[in-house]
Structure 1
Amino acid sequence: MTQEQFSKYSFLLDRTARRVKQYAQRKFKLSDFDITVDQWLVMKNLSENELLSQSELAQLVFKDQPTLTRIIDILTKKDYVERLPHPQDRRSFQLVLTELGKDKVKELKPQVASIREKAWENLNESDFLEFKRILNTIYSNLE
C-alpha cells in the first residue's frame, strides 16, 4: 500500500470514528440522558466490572488520568459513581456505581443499543465479520 492510500484509509477511519461519536453525543443530548458519551462509557464499564481502580478504568475507556478524573468528578457530583478507599493502598481508591448509577445504566442500555444500531444499518453478517477482523488486525499491529 502506498503512503497516499494509507493516508486516505486512516482519514476514513478517523472520520468515521468522529462521526459515530458525534451522532451518539447528539442523540444523548436530544434524549436528555443527563450524561455524555464519555460518561456513559465510564458507567457502562463500571457496571461490568467490580471495584475498579482509576488506572484500570482509564485503560478500559482509553482516557488519560486527568480526563478520567474530570469525568469521575462529574459522575460523583451526580451521585452515579462513588469513590471507595482502596483496602491495600491508602493513596488510591476504587470506583463503583451507586444504586442511582446502576439504575441509570439499566435505563439507558436499550436506548444506547438503538443508537449504535443506526451505525450498523445496511450491513450484513459477513460485513460485520470482515470489519471485526480488520479492526482486530489493526489493533494487534499496534501492540
Structure 2
Amino acid sequence: MTLDDTIGYMISRVARKIHYAVDGMFKEYGITVEQWVALKTIAEYEPLCQKALAERIEKNQNTVKALVTHLENKGCIDRTPDPSDMRHMILRTTEKGRDCVERLSALDEHANLDFLGALSADEQEELRRMLRKIEAKL
C-alpha cells in the first residue's frame, strides 16, 4: 500500500484542501478557519467557558486563548469571569459576532455543498456515517 492509499493520509489531504479553500473564502471577512470554528462553537453552545471551548474544538488552552483574544478584539465575543469560579471565563457572542456567524454560516454551507457535489445525497450521508464511526473508534 502506498502513502496515497492510506486512509489517514487521504483524509488529511482532503481536509487540508478544504481548509485552504474555506480560509480563502473567509479572508475578506478577516477571520481564519480556526477562528470561525471557535466563533461558531461559542454561538452554538453559549454561554460557554473557555475550557469547554478548548475541549469541544480539541485545541490546547494556549491556542484557544489566542483565538478568543482575537475574536474579542474584533468585537465578536465577550469574555467575562464566571461568578461561580473567577478562574474561568464565560464566552458569549456579541451582536457583531452573531451577524458574522449568520453571514459565514451561509458561506460555509455553500462551500460544504460544493465540496460534496461529486457525491449523491446517499453517498454524502454514508461518508458522514463512516467518518463518525472512524472517529468514535479513535
Q: TM-score, normalised by structure 1?
A: 0.88
Instruction: Determine if contact 2:37/2:57 at 8 Å carries over to the other structure.
Output: yes
Choose which of 58, 64, 70 in structure 2 pairs with 1:74: 70
The answer to whether the 8 A contact 2:38-2:57 is kept is yes
Q: 2:20 pairs with 19, 22, 27, which one? A: 22
- The secondary structure found in structure 2 opposite 1:16 is helix
Separation in structure 2 between the aligned mates of residue 100 and residue 11 of structure 1, nearest angstrom? 38
Secondary structure of 1:90's aligned partner: strand
Counterpart of 2:26, as a letter, is F
What are structure 1's unaligned runs of at least 5 residues?
Answer: none
- Using the size of structure 2 for normalisation, the TM-score is 0.91
Structure 1 runs, 4 residues or longer, greater than 4 Å off: none
Q: Between the two proteins, what is the percent identity of the paired residues? A: 29
Distance 1:132 1:107, change over 3 A: closer
Shift of 1:65: 0.9
Paired position in structure 1 for 2:91 = 95
Alignment partners' CA distance in 1, 2:107 and 2:132: 27
Determine the C-alpha separation between the residues in 1 that align with 2:59 and 2:112.
21
Cα offset for 1:89?
0.5
Which has the larger displacement, 126-135 or 94-103? 126-135
1:125 is aligned to 121
2:54 to 50, 58, 63: 58
RMSD: 1.6
Q: In 1, are the aligned partners of 2:46 and 2:93 still within 8 Å (CA)? A: no
1:133 Cα offset (Å)? 2.1
Letter in 2 for 1:113: E
Change in Cα spacing, 1:129 to 1:104, as seen in structure 2 (3 Å) is closer
Gaps of 5+ in 2: none
